[in-house]
């Protein structure tokens, strides 16, 4: 960003109408979203009642696939559908579960009546991942033939598409997806420790096993499952970051030296491997495929907390985590001389590719966590001649969240169901087709097209159990 663009961004931010946002309402609705994505047998506590049971035979069907293990039958009922379709993509699903767990570990104490729903959202993921890793030597990584699914516009309750199961094995490895599942299980085990000790222990034991499998049989699921995972959720940044990320979570969950040493030994390889890109772009990335910034913030946080005495260790200065996390901050903050990300005129982080808000939300989350770490450690970040303190990091995260909730040039909320004006024709099969309550008859693959092509608003609001009623 050149100085003129930077002034425009800062000016744009000042010009926005000042709005007070109801973060509690946004939290409630973001957790409700996960209920709308549920696959499998829905519990009586389900609040999104326009959704019904679906995909009750996932894993039991013998899939049509190029791999012989598709003849193995395993219960894979449950988990979450991806975005607006009916495939279960375990790589991004595991990352979402890790992030839900991290959110609860960090902010659960502020969640009030949403806390039990956040716990349910995590458990819906981890129950499924326990199934997906229940056969030693296999990690199931996907359910549903993505081409067949994308070809049909169908409610999950009506699905008659191919529910092929895909797995990685010793000979056909997938360390990124296995590493991320290990991270999700380890992070979630920490959440459940004070709630359900036996379940927590089960998650942790499985996390260790899955991590060992991911590390021992190294490779990308790109190469093992080729066209079934690409171009959907290819591993663009390789699997090395997920192995370190998985080890970092296992270290936090177990405090075992083995995982700490693993992180230390491999973080430098990670930096060497990504070489030049690590000194520029990768620092400003965090998402389902790229974990670098998350690793540095997570470990820096652990270092600053009372549990770990890493900072007082005589070799502490040689650890890269805190300098890397500082560098991450300097690559994102708009006023930093080394800013790497772009901003829209209204001040939103903008990256090329789809689903832009994933970047704004994930990076903001890290800013909140690191902002708290800085205040705990009584530190500030220096970006050239700019000093960023904890309050600045938190203010930055808030600016991104406020933009999403409506403090933007269009005065529109980008969170469905939040505020007075929000997107009402979202690309989402279940939301855009009439619910089974209104339309019990089966709607097949082709008949769904008329709803897809319709200009009507989606009949099901993907956050509320009360149809289109608003408050």
Ligand X SMILES: *[C@@H]1O[C@H](CO)[C@@H](O)[C@H](O)[C@H]1NC(C)=O
Binding site for ligand X (CB under 6 A): 220, 222, 230, 234-236, 238
**Whose Cβ is closer to ligand X: residue 54's or residue 175's?**
175
Q: What is the nearest approach in angstroms of ligand X to the Cβ of residue 354?
A: 15
Pairwise CA distance, residues 24 & 382, whole Å:
33
In 3D space, the residue among 175, 164, 159 whose CA is nearest the CA of residue 89 turns out to be 164
Q: How far is the CB of 167 from ligand X (least distance, A)?
A: 18
In terms of DSSP bridges, do strands 138-143 and 165-169 run parallel, antiparallel, or are they unpaired?
Answer: antiparallel
CB atoms within 10 A of CB 150: 14
Choose between 110 and 236: whose C-beta lies nearer to ligand X: 236
Minimum distance between the CB of residue 282 and ligand X, rounded to whole angstroms? 13
For residues 292 and 241, the answer to whether their CB atoms sit within 8 Å is yes
CA pair distance 434, 455, nearest whole angstrom: 14
Least distance from ligand X to the Cβ atom of residue 238, Å: 4
Cβ proximity to ligand X, 146 vs 417, nearer residue: 146
The CB-of-92 to ligand X minimum distance in angstroms stands at 15
Contact 180, 206 (CB under 8 A): no
End-to-end CA distance of the chain: 40
3-state secondary structure of 386: strand
CA dist 210 and 14 (Å) reads: 48
**Rounded CA gap, 258 and 59, in Å?**
35
* Rounded-to-integer distance, Cα 310 and Cα 413, Å: 42
Cα–Cα dist 262/243, whole Å: 9
Say how far apart CA 116 and CA 4 lie, in whole Å.
47
Give the other-Cβ count within 10 Å of 231's Cβ. 7
Question: Of 108 and 238, which has the nearer Cβ to ligand X?
Answer: 238
Our CA dihedral for 322, 327, 332, 336, rounded to 10 degrees, sits at 120
DSSP 8-state assignment for residue 233: S
- Nearest to ligand X of 104, 141 (CB atom): 141
The half-sphere exposure of 330 on its side-chain side, counting CA atoms within 13 A, is 18
Provide the H-helix boundaries in 73-134: 90-107, 115-132
Pick 47 or 218: Cβ nearer ligand X: 218
Smallest distance from the beta carbon of 179 to ligand X, in angstroms? 12
Alpha helices in 170-239 (DSSP H): 175-192, 197-216, 221-229
**Shortest CB 220 distance to ligand X, Å:** 4
Query: Hey, how many other C-beta atoms are within 10 angstroms of the C-beta on 186?
Result: 29
Alpha-carbon distance of 225 to 186, in angstroms, equals 25
Cβ 221 to ligand X shortest distance, Å = 9
Q: How far is CA 70 from the centre of its chain?
A: 27
Point out the residues that are catalytic: 427
Q: Which is nearer to ligand X, 60 or 236 (CB)?
A: 236
Q: CA-CA distance, 406 to 422, in Å (whole number)?
A: 9
Closest to ligand X by CB, 235 vs 435, is 235
Closest CA relative to residue 150, chosen from 448, 367, 421: 448
């Amino acid at each position: 960003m050149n100085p003129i663009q930077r002034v425009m961004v800062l000016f744009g931010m000042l010009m926005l109408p000042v709005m007070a946002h109801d973060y509690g309402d946004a939290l409630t609705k973001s957790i409700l979203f996960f209920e709308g994505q549920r696959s499998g047998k829905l519990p009586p506590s389900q609040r999104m009642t326009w959704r019904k049971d679906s995909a009750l035979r996932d894993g039991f069907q013998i899939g049509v696939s190029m791999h012989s293990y598709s003849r193995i039958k395993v219960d894979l009922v449950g988990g979450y559908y991806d975005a607006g379709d009916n495939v279960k993509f375990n790589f991004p699903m595991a990352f979402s579960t890790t992030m839900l767990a991290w959110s609860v570990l960090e902010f659960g104490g502020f969640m009030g009546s949403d806390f039990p729903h956040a716990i349910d959202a995590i458990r819906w993921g981890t129950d499924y991942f326990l199934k997906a890793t229940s056969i030693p030597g296999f990690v199931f990584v996907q359910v549903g033939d993505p081409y067949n699914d994308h070809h049909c516009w169908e409610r999950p309750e009506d699905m008659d598409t191919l529910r092929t199961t895909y797995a990685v094995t010793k000979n056909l490895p997938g360390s990124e997806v296995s590493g991320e599942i290990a991270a999700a299980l380890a992070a979630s085990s920490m959440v459940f420790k004070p709630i359900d000790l036996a379940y927590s222990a089960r998650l942790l034991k499985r996390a260790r096993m899955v991590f060992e499998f991911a590390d021992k049989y190294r490779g990308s699921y790109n190469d093992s499952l080729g066209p079934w995972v690409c171009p959907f959720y290819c591993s663009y940044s390789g699997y090395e970051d997920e192995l370190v990320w998985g080890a970092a979570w296992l270290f936090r969950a177990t405090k075992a030296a083995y995982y700490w040493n693993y992180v230390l030994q491999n973080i430098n390889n990670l930096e060497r491997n990504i070489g030049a890109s690590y000194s520029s772009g990768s620092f400003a990335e965090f998402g389902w495929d790229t974990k670098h910034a998350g690793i540095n913030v997570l470990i820096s946080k652990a270092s600053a907390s009372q549990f770990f005495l890493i900072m007082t260790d005589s070799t502490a200065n040689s650890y890269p985590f805190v300098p890397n996390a500082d560098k991450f901050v300097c690559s994102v903050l708009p006023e930093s001389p080394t800013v790497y990300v772009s901003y829209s005129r209204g001040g939103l982080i903008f990256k090329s590719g789809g689903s832009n808000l994933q970047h704004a939300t994930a990076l903001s989350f890290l800013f909140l966590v690191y902002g708290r770490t800085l205040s705990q450690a009584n530190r500030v970040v220096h970006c050239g001649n700019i000093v960023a303190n904890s309050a600045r990091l938190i203010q930055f995260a808030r600016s991104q969240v406020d933009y999403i909730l409506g403090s933007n040039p269009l005065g529109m909320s980008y969170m469905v169901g939040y505020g007075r004006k929000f997107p009402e024709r979202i690309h989402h099969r279940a939301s855009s087709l009439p619910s089974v309550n209104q339309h019990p008859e089966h709607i097949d693959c082709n008949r769904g097209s008329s709803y897809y092509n319709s200009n009507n608003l989606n009949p099901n609001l993907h956050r509320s159990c009360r149809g289109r009623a608003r408050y």
